Amino acid sequence: MSVSDSDDERVRRSRRRREKKQRPFWQELPILVVIAAVIAALMVTFVGRPYVIPSQSMETTLHGCAGCTGDRIYVQKLSYYWGDPKPGDVVVFVGPPSWNTHYQSIRSDNAVARGVQNFFSFFGLVPPDENDLVKRVIAVGGQTVQCCDAQGRVLVDGKPLDEPYARYLLPYVPGQPYGPGGGREFKPVKVPEGHLWVMGDNRNESADSRAHITDELQGTVPVDNVRGKAVFKIWPPSRIGPVRSENAQAN
């Protein structure tokens, strides 16, 4: 046998070994699906997940309303592994107990369907079954917040905030206490450490910290309830763009 014949035989044997090792795609597909599912679960658990805006409380920063196509936002968790939310951050959080009076589960009454929903929620394909809300951080632990000064502005530690993102549908009427769809004024609240005072940008249409000022936490939200920071609008295409943190205390 010549050297050339020997080389050809080695090449053929090597090709046959590679062909034996290669699996058909249909055998590899389940493995790829499992890998993708594990990556998705890790992303949802530790990095972030999408949320849908269901109401108009954050107009015009975030769009949402009953019966319309609400913005889909991406909420990342990484920022708050090394620090707490800052004034001006737009955050998604789980409502404290007094905020959940009218919350209705989004899960099916059918046990099988509910199990499927919970399974896909684990991978970020179905919303979690909890009262997730989105608001802007106005004051943090140790600060005192109240409204209003003579111009109807919110004050933090006695300093009025210039809030370009805030939307008021009605003029300020001194002496008119806060009510969803109504007045602005609320008494001073000292935010406890580890808590946040949050408000919707659409001030006349947001049931936020102001609406819960008489509860045991005086309307504040524990930092531990925060799911993450809204950073990007991912849907619909016409509204794709960043969700900006605007710290009115820095103005």
- Give the catalytic positions in this structure: 57, 135
Sheet of 144-147, strand order: 159-160, 154-156, 144-147, 186-190
Closest CA to 128 of 136, 138, 117: 117
- Would you give the distance in Å from CA 213 to the centre of its chain? 23
Q: Yes or no: say if 242 and 231 are a contact pair by the CB < 8 Å rule.
A: yes
Main-chain dihedrals φ then ψ at residue 176, nearest 5 degrees: -95, 110
For tokens 């997940």, the residue is 49
Closest CA to 153 of 108, 199, 211, 105: 199
Q: Is the dihedral of CA 101, 105, 109, 114 positive or negative?
A: negative
Show Cβ contacts of residue 251 under 8 Å, excluding neighbours closer than 6 positions: 161, 162
Show Cβ contacts of residue 201 under 8 Å, excluding neighbours closer than 6 positions: 57, 58, 59, 60, 61, 62, 136, 165, 166, 167
